[in-house]
Structure 1
Amino acid sequence: MTAAVLAIDAGQTGIKVRVREHDIVFPGIRTGEPLLPQLAAVTHAAIERTGAEVSVVSAGVSGLTTRESDAAALLARIDDAAVHEVILAHDSTTSFLGALGDTRGAVVAAGTGVVTLAVGAERVARVDGWGYLMGDAGSGYWIGREALDAVMREYDGRGPTTALRAVAEDRWPDLSQAYIHLQSDPERVSVVASFAAHVARLASEGDAVSQNITVRAGGELAHSVETALRRVRSEEVGEHFAACAIGGVFRSPQLREAFASHIAASEFDVTLVEPRGHGIDGAAALAGLAPQHPLAHAVSVAHT
């Protein structure tokens, strides 16, 4: 039996692993702990569970920092004689490869957070993905934060009435104390982001405040795509791009419509397309990425 590629799509909600015909899901990465030991442990567990002889480990990782993007260090931690190559990249890279493959364009991945990656003929541009404190415009967290702001504006008399208030009161009956409960909740990021689903539902039911938040979120996400494409476009006449929107935020029909409307009105020749695959497909594709590909500079590779 020939040696296999073990592909890893590592996110905060779960780590997906693919080797041969096996697809395995492990608990998500723990952001407060060193990353490389976690990836090495997942690699060992997957090899043990499947019995596969793995020669290449390729991983796309959420929130991968420059310091942690060290394929040689991961290869040393794996310490398996059969594994002779490790490929490591940020999950924006593998999301792009999974969704668009070897195509010029942009992929915006919006869940709790959001990151946009564009690839042109020669250049690559990443836009946002700066976390809930500094960025992630249009993300689930951003939408939830806008929802809670609207709730408290109504509570104070500073803003219009909204059905979102009842949703917040279901969680915090005394809204005057809601901020205390939220600030002390270790899961506050996911709690805030959970309000995005209510915004989508209430927007479809006609709540004007929810509709306004939804339309603005779609505009923010489209703005990131347009900005990324502007940074990678060439002087080539008639250059065409594909754009792909993935992640739970885009389950909202009104948000997706607002996003699509902005893209259609942009200065670019761009077509919205459905994703070809998922992040795990992109992680597997890392093993075949050509050295001259524009994304290659964003990938760390180590060999024995």
Structure 2
Amino acid sequence: MEHDPAVLAIDAGQTGIKVRRTRPDGGVHEAVLPGVRTDAPLVPQLATVVGEIALESGQPVSVVAAGVSGLTDAAADAAALLDLVGPAGVERVVLAHDSVTSFLGTLGDRRGAVVASGTGVVTLGVGTRRTARVDGWGHIMGDAGSGYWIGREGLDAAMRAYDGRGPATPLLDRLRDRWPDPTGAYIHLQSDPGRVHAVAAFARSVADLAADDPVAAGICRRAADELAHSVVTALDAVAEPDDADPPHVGAIGGVFGSVVVRARFEERMRDLRPDAEIATARGSGVDGAALLPGLGTGHALRVLVGSAQR
């Protein structure tokens, strides 16, 4: 696989949208925009991003390749996006869930699994013939081990400490930094349209305190256990009897910035799948998006990619 020099690569996550446009002269324009809203139609949001980049650069965009958080089969309408971005000169659209682009950016062509944990989390396993997505079902039904999950656990622990239902923890002080009256915090959150991000942001407090606070450390370790469980599930789902080489595992996203989470994750992977090799990421989600147009028809991931062309 090779990067298409004409591609506008988009890595659209809930925390932010990263874009990269390679100009015909070889120059590169990169930008970070506000994240996508998974509770609103995604195709119009992507069209707005393409329009903004085309207007800012003053150059037409010929190929759009996007990996998008929260993209369902019903929403993955490459033809609809192509219709909306046609005025920007786009001739081809390639569209996939961000688990696909995270995998490509992290492991490239190698067999294995990638877990990407930020505000939400999704794991993708890719074998020689099969793929398996594990979790990524949103903060209400899933996203175990995500930033939202950790933040929610941290808020719960803080309020348990406030009530006397749980052990004392400095997480309560961090909650008071944001909401001086803890009894009103839930009202503020429930009325906040950005509450998913507000809850996920509390994960930073949990990670910061994990080195010294047993409560915060326990939350981080449980998150890592959930993430490792998802990876092992994905690897098992795509394994073939004739697999000879060990699978590779990539762990990316802001949650893995926690020393406690990463150390526990690697420990659990060694226990559960000692044959797996934890790999250093080759690139990022936007690198994976740039690779989408060149994905071969025989690749196991190809069935997960939508495409439309004029």
Q: Mark the CA change 1:201 to 1:13 in structure 2 (over 3 Å): closer, same or farther.
A: closer
Q: Residue 287 of structure 2 aligns with which residue?
A: 281
How far apart are residue 268 of structure 1 and its match? 5.3
Q: Distance in 1 between matches of 2:186 and 2:60?
A: 52
Q: Distance in 1 between matches of 2:144 and 2:88?
A: 44
Q: Residue 181 of structure 1 aligns with which residue?
A: 188
How far apart are residue 81 of structure 1 and its match? 8.7
Q: Mark the CA change 1:249 to 1:222 in structure 2 (over 3 Å): closer, same or farther.
A: same
Q: Residue 152 of structure 1 aligns with which residue?
A: 159
Which among 160, 164, 170 is matched to residue 171 of structure 2? Answer: 164
Contact 2:38 2:69 in 1 (8 A): no
Which among 93, 100, 104 is matched to residue 100 of structure 2? Answer: 93
* Pairwise CA RMSD: 1.9
Q: Aligned AA for 2:14?
A: Q
Q: Aligned AA for 1:105?
A: G
Per-residue CA distance 1:197-252 (angstroms, 9 max, x = gap): 11111111x21111111111111110010011110111025341111111111111
Q: Distance in 1 between matches of 2:182 and 2:50?
A: 46
Contact 1:40 1:77 in 2 (8 A): yes
Gaps of 5+ in 2: 23-27
Q: Residue 257 of structure 1 aligns with which residue?
A: 263
Which among 15, 18, 21 is matched to residue 16 of structure 1? Answer: 18
Judge which range, 13-22 or 211-220, deviates more: 13-22
1:39-188 map, 5 Å: 39-80=46-87, 82-188=89-195
Q: Distance in 1 between matches of 2:155 and 2:61?
A: 48
- Aligned pair 1:222/2:224, yes or no? no
TM-score by length of 2: 0.91
Contact 2:61 2:88 in 1 (8 A): no
Q: Distance in 1 between matches of 2:185 and 2:123?
A: 33
Q: Mark the CA change 1:150 to 1:25 in structure 2 (over 3 Å): closer, same or farther.
A: closer
Contact 1:104 1:119 in 2 (8 A): yes
Gaps of 5+ in 1: none
Q: Distance in 1 between matches of 2:102 and 2:5?
A: 25
Q: Distance in 1 between matches of 2:190 and 2:54?
A: 41
Contact 1:9 1:91 in 2 (8 A): yes
- Aligned pair 1:291/2:297, yes or no? yes
Q: Distance in 1 between matches of 2:108 and 2:215?
A: 38
Q: Aligned AA for 2:281?
A: P
1:29-40 map, 5 Å: 29-40=36-47
Contact 2:11 2:68 in 1 (8 A): yes
TM-score by length of 1: 0.93
How far apart are residue 32 of structure 1 and its match? 4.4
Q: Mark the CA change 1:13 to 1:264 in structure 2 (over 3 Å): closer, same or farther.
A: same
**Partner secondary structure for residue 202 of structure 2:** helix
Q: Mark the CA change 1:115 to 1:45 in structure 2 (over 3 Å): closer, same or farther.
A: same
Q: Distance in 2 between matches of 1:137 and 1:5?
A: 33
Q: Mark the CA change 1:294 to 1:268 in structure 2 (over 3 Å): closer, same or farther.
A: farther
Contact 1:59 1:88 in 2 (8 A): yes
**Partner secondary structure for residue 216 of structure 1:** helix
Q: Aligned AA for 2:304?
A: A
Q: Distance in 1 between matches of 2:243 and 2:109?
A: 20
How far apart are residue 98 of structure 1 and its match? 0.6
Aligned length: 302
Q: Distance in 1 between matches of 2:219 and 2:121?
A: 16
Query: Deviation above 4 Å: which 4+ runs of structure 1?
Result: none
**Partner secondary structure for residue 165 of structure 2:** coil
Contact 1:239 1:269 in 2 (8 A): no
**Partner secondary structure for residue 265 of structure 1:** helix
Contact 1:3 1:54 in 2 (8 A): no
Per-residue CA distance 1:243-263 (angstroms, 9 max, x = gap): 111111111111111000000
**Partner secondary structure for residue 142 of structure 1:** helix
Q: Distance in 2 between matches of 1:124 and 1:101?
A: 14
Q: Distance in 2 between matches of 1:220 and 1:178?
A: 27
Judge which range, 109-118 or 28-37, deviates more: 28-37
Q: Aligned AA for 1:114?
A: V
How far apart are residue 186 of structure 1 and its match? 2.3
Q: Distance in 1 between matches of 2:15 and 2:282?
A: 22
